[in-house]
Amino acid sequence: MTLSPSEKAGDENRIVAWNRELAAVHQRLRRALRLAREAIDAGDAASAGNDLLLYCHGFCAALSGHHVSEDDALFPELAERHPELRPTIAKLQQDHELIASLLRQFEQALNSGAPPERLSSHLDGLSAIMESHFQYEERQLLGPLAALDLDLAPGTALGPL
């Protein structure tokens, strides 16, 4: 995959440690989830207002963007170079679909003004699935990613975090 000139700007000599990039993205997403939970815990949805919307919608967009980028850019490259990982990648993509469904349900609850307890319950479910997914992904992919040489910008392969 070839980068556009704007994607290459400043990155011509950068070597990407894809295993570290993935782990760092997961840490940022865990932090985004904590911020969303803190916004909910700060009070009811009405009083949390803009902070709640900002943190929760930001978390949803970040997690969704990460998974779409993996599915569209990283996983096809990884599957081509490591065919033995195709079953693992298929399972990770199934997880992405489940997480996307949970994100849609959470956003519906958020947009409908659901009480904090309901929003918190949605985040509990998302958190459990997300953490299980991240741990499995890291166990299965960090080794192959450590040796991966891709001509992609990290944001293209892992999302705009």
- Is the CB of residue 74 less than 8 Å from the CB of residue 9? no
Q: How far apart are CA 56 and CA 12, in angstroms?
A: 35
- pLDDT of 155 higher than 80: yes
Retrieve residue 75's tokens.
Answer: 């996983």
In this prediction the pTM is: 0.85
67 or 9: which carries more pLDDT confidence? 67
- How far apart (Å, rounded) are the C-alpha atoms in residues 68 and 45? 28
Taking the C-alpha atoms of residue 159 and residue 56, their distance in angstroms, rounded to an integer, is: 17
User: Alpha helices of the chain — where are they, by DSSP H?
Assistant: 5-8, 18-41, 45-69, 75-81, 86-111, 116-146, 154-158
Range with the lowest mean pLDDT among 3-7, 45-49, 155-159?
3-7
Contacts of residue 105, Cβ cutoff 8 Å, sequence gap at least 6 = 122
The string of pLDDT tens digits covering residues 103-120 is: 999 989 988 888 888 999
Query: What pLDDT is stored for residue 161 in this prediction?
Result: 73
